[in-house]
Amino acid sequence: MDVPPALLAAAHDNYVESFRLLGRALPGGDVLDLNGGELILSGRPDAEFNRLFVWDAPADAAGLLARAAEACSRRRCGWTVVAGLAANRAVREAAKGARLRAGMPQAAMVLASLDEVGPAGNIRGLVIEAVESPAMADTLVAVLEDGFGVPAGFYRSYGCPGVWDTPEIRCYLGWLDDEAVACAAVLLSGEMAGLYHVSTIKEFRKMGLADALGRHALREAAETGCRAATLQPTMMGYSIYTRIGFRPAFSYASWYSLPP
């Protein structure tokens, strides 16, 4: 897909903003400009939740990774480097020297116009509600963890104040017979909407719920003035997003620290 550079940069910034939310809101979190990359710390020890984002090729990739390693060592946390296309080669060489382990590539998809998003198909009994209370945020976290098959508490950060209830993020729950069965969220940054947290609990898959929640969230984002959208898909959700209208734009490379 031939995507204008400005649209790619806006998609990347939305992705980074999804982690800045954690860095600003969580106890022990931080957002650090390391002169060539942005290190976002969540206050959690998990490498997945502490990320160094590098979009442009850094002048000194080895020095950048050394600064990130020092900051994370002080916090006693793992960390992950996420590099865009322009930074990939320089960061790859520096990651070898820093003894970081290569992760799987992460696709980035873009939907150039939210006008392309049609309404969801009719799912009998489905009720979609905006998350508007801490109890609903806890329910969203539970649906997210069930859908992704991770231990309870793994995504607890997304239910914290300052994350789910900020003006730039809108979270939604899908209900069938008074049971929360699916969720989705959009992060609004300028005219870009990032689609996140699309999840369906296992017993209710193959019903079109992820498609319905995703379309609902994107159409709501369009109402706020967003014109385009982005996401980072899992393999399970890839076909759903292509049906909605997303197309692959590029892939991130990643490297992560090993446990001590």
Catalogue all structural domains in the chain, each as residue range(s) with its CATH number. 5-107+252-256 (3.40.630), 114-226 (3.40.630.30)
Indicate if the pLDDT at residue 1 is higher than 80. no
CA distance 118 to 138: 29
Mean pLDDT computed over 214-233: 97
Percent of the chain with pLDDT over 90: 94
pLDDT, tens only, 192-223: 999 999 999 999 999 999 999 999 999 999 99
Residue 258 pLDDT exceeds 90: no
pLDDT > 90? residue 120: no
- DSSP for 190-234 reads TTEEEEEEEEE-GGGTTSSHHHHHHHHHHHHHHHTT--EEEE---
Average pLDDT on 230-240 reads 91
**In the chain, pLDDT over 70 holds for what percent of residues?**
99
What is the predicted pLDDT for the residue at 235? 85
Q: Map tokens 């696709």 to a residue.
A: 107
> At residue 237, does pLDDT exceed 90?
no
What per-residue confidence (pLDDT) applies to 260?
64
Q: Residues 8, 112: contact at Cβ < 8 Å? A: no
The residue that leads in pLDDT, 49 or 1, is 49
**pLDDT value of residue 236:** 84
What pLDDT is stored for residue 121 in this prediction?
A: 84
Task: Give mean pLDDT, residues 248-255.
Answer: 96
Lowest average pLDDT, out of 122-131, 135-144, 234-243, goes to 234-243
- pTM, rounded to two decimals: 0.95
Q: How confident is the model over 215-233, as a mean pLDDT?
A: 97
In the structure, what pLDDT confidence band is assigned to residue 2 with cuts at 50, 70 and 90? confident
pLDDT digits (tens, 9 = 90+) for 14-67: 999 999 999 999 999 999 999 999 999 999 999 999 999 999 999 999 999 999
* pLDDT score of 115: 95
Q: Where are the beta strands (DSSP E) in 67-178?
A: 80-83, 101-102, 106-111, 127-130, 169-176
Quote the pLDDT of residue 138: 97
Cα-Cα end-to-end distance for the chain: 41
